[in-house]
A and B are shown apart, each in its own frame.
Chain A
Amino acid sequence: MTVDMFAMQAFTGLSIFTILMLMALGLAIVFGLMGVINMAHGELMAMGAYTSYGTALFFQKFMPSLMDAYVFVGIVLAFIVTSVFGFLLERGLIRFLYRRPLDTLLATWGLSLILQQVFRQFIDAKEVEVPTVSWLKGAWQVTEGIALPLSRLFIIVLAIVTAAVVYMILFRTRAGLRIRAVTQNRVMAGAAGIDTARVDALSFAFGCGLAGIAGSSFTMLASTGPTTGQQYIVDTFIVVVFGGVESLLGTISSAFLIGQMQSWFEFGLGGSMARASILALVIAVLYFRPNGLFAAKVRR
């Protein structure tokens, strides 16, 4: 294996890692911290992607001169749209189901089907393509054999920035402390004086907003269709469960491991075998460490 090939494989792994991380950050809050099995999380990503698509169309039509900047507007709008949707979803549905995980699963699954149909009916039944902005076209030619696509580099940076912001919010602010207290013991958090209902709604909205950011950025790599969310949701759950719920660093490390494995196994074994071996490995790890790879050890 040459140095160039090694570098390209490592880069592919890094790229998959950041994509998985972006997907999983939102779910790490919604499922990992809050314990809500949200089957519609994938559709929230699709919603973010469609928001980006809408923004692109708007810019193309009314502000073609600013087309280069639409990416950032699209990401921000995707966050806003999905977090507002998440807030309403929590107030209108999820909060009635906190002690009933199975019902949550069914209800959100139903919601995901409804959303898919809404996308199909009102946006487009076919996949839609977002125009690539000029500064994200092409690749960075590091050496003769190494070319790194700019859109993937952009997602790597975006994922790292997003993860850093999420970490700072969760671990360095009072709002984050509230979220962590409520998710660890909702009843006690209330008895310590925290307005749990408000914290639940806001953290759920935050997690959904992160799904929107992920979806928005994926428009740079792939087209968006009504069933796009379904393709994302499985990987997203695997990353969160493998890393260990209640652990943000676990989620990030798990995304890194799975991303790298995906890249290297695919190189050695081909696509399907790579998927199969990763899933087998995940099952084996969860058999021996049911709380995930990086679950913190404390007396409860």
Chain B
Amino acid sequence: MLQVNQLNVYYGESHVLRNASFSVAKGETVAIMGRNGMGKSTLLKALIGILPTRGGSVSLGGRELTGTPTYTRVAAGMGFVPQGRMIFPYLTVEENILTGMEKAAEKTVPAYIYEVFPVLLEMKHRRGGNLSGGQQQQLAIARALVSNPGVLVLDEPTEGIQPSIIKDIARALNTLKAERGFSLVVSEQVLSFAMAVADRFLIIEKGEFVHEAARADADEGVIHGYLTI
């Protein structure tokens, strides 16, 4: 489904992502794990096209996406939930969701969104900026889902959200994946959340992948070691 080959990102002269290569199969969930500043967000932003890459390639379902603007990648089937959620503060909840439906055939929010996230139906006419962090996270996921992505890219979805909501979000993601069959790339520091959703773990350190494990033979202790200082 998603093919990433030898991706490199620089901030000015500093080389922050080095030769990142990985692929994600249809319906698979890959968790990118690592401490702060190791390059998780950089990698995901480069995938959706917010950050320019130098060398390397990204393709989705056989379609070459390297160098294309973000909205082309969304149209090609990539959904993005950014770190910090980035809700449009002055748009209502409903309008926030509709912004993700540029290429969708229907003109109203699909019913399954409100079934999975009932709180969004309740808050439909509130401004996005007035929601709590957890509600905004659900809204950001909904906004990315309505473009019917083949791959959903989530950047640190648990950041700043209370534990009970984190569990809800993990459950919702698993339900949605089973129903809709998309792949998931999620960056995380919270091991319990990653264990609840991921099929495979990639550990990133100083801009490079240093460890990979399938869920079946993942050693929580080893991964935990990479996450603590």
- Flag if B91 contacts A184 (CB, 8 Å): yes
| Residues of A close to B91: CB separation below 8 A | 177, 180-181, 184
| Residues of B close to A190: CB separation below 8 A | 49-50, 69-71, 74
Q: How many residues of A contact B (CB 8 A)?
A: 23
Identify which of residues 57-112 in chain B touch chain A, using a CB-to-CB cut-off of 8 Å. Answer: 69-71, 74-75, 80, 82, 86, 88-91, 95, 98-103, 107
Q: Which of A188, A191, A196 has the most CB of B within 10 A?
A: A191
How far, in whole Å, are A196 and B86 apart by their CA atoms in the complex? Answer: 16
Instruction: Return the CB mask of B154-187 against A: 1 if under 8 Å, else 0.
Output: 0000000000000000000000000000000000
Identify which of residues 147-206 in chain A touch chain B, using a CB-to-CB cut-off of 8 Å. Answer: 174, 177-178, 180-181, 184-185, 187-197
| A61 interfacial contact with B, CB 8 Å | no
How far, in whole Å, are A196 and B130 apart by their CA atoms in the complex? Answer: 25
Instruction: Return the CB mask of A95-123 against B: 1 if under 8 Å, else 0.
Output: 00000000000000000000000000000
| Residues of B close to A298: CB separation below 8 A | 89-90, 127-130
| B48 interfacial contact with A, CB 8 Å | yes
Q: Which of A187, A190, A194 has the most CB of B within 10 A?
A: A190
How close is B96's CB to chain A, nearest CB, in angstroms?
Answer: 8
A184 CB contact (under 8 Å) in B48, B82, B90, B102: B90
Q: Which of B69, B75, B86, B88 has the most CB of A within 10 A?
A: B88
| Residues of B close to A189: CB separation below 8 A | 88, 99
| B143 interfacial contact with A, CB 8 Å | yes
| B147 interfacial contact with A, CB 8 Å | yes
- Flag if A184 contacts B89 (CB, 8 Å): yes
| Residues of B close to A178: CB separation below 8 A | 99, 102
How close is A202's CB to chain B, nearest CB, in angstroms?
Answer: 14
| A296 interfacial contact with B, CB 8 Å | yes
- Flag if A300 contacts B99 (CB, 8 Å): no
| Residues of B close to A184: CB separation below 8 A | 88-91
How close is A245's CB to chain B, nearest CB, in angstroms?
Answer: 11
- Flag if A193 contacts B147 (CB, 8 Å): yes
How close is A76's CB to chain B, nearest CB, in angstroms?
Answer: 30
How far, in whole Å, are A81 and B67 apart by their CA atoms in the complex? Answer: 35
How far, in whole Å, are A191 and B81 apart by their CA atoms in the complex? Answer: 8
- Flag if B89 contacts A194 (CB, 8 Å): no
A192 CB contact (under 8 Å) in B49, B74, B90, B107: B74
Q: Which of B82, B89, B95, B107 has the most CB of A within 10 A?
A: B89
| Residues of A close to B90: CB separation below 8 A | 180, 184, 246, 296, 298
| Residues of B close to A196: CB separation below 8 A | 69-71
CB contact under 8 A between A300 and B50, given known A191-B74, A193-B100: no
| Residues of B close to A197: CB separation below 8 A | 69
How far, in whole Å, are A180 and B89 apart by their CA atoms in the complex? Answer: 10
How far, in whole Å, are A102 and B128 apart by their CA atoms in the complex? Answer: 31
- Flag if A188 contacts B71 (CB, 8 Å): no
How far, in whole Å, are A299 and B87 apart by their CA atoms in the complex? Answer: 10
How close is A185's CB to chain B, nearest CB, in angstroms?
Answer: 6
B88 CB contact (under 8 Å) in A174, A188, A193, A299: A188
| B9 interfacial contact with A, CB 8 Å | no
How far, in whole Å, are A188 and B87 apart by their CA atoms in the complex? Answer: 8
CB contact under 8 A between A191 and B88, given known A177-B95, A298-B130: no
| Residues of B close to A296: CB separation below 8 A | 90, 127
5 cross-chain CB contacts under 8 A = A185-B86, A191-B50, A192-B80, A192-B102, A193-B71
Return the 5 tightest CB-CB contacts between A and B, nearest first.
A298-B129, A193-B74, A190-B70, A188-B86, A193-B102
Beyond A189-B99, A192-B99: 5 further Cβ-contacts under 8 Å? A191-B70, A192-B147, A193-B71, A193-B103, A298-B90
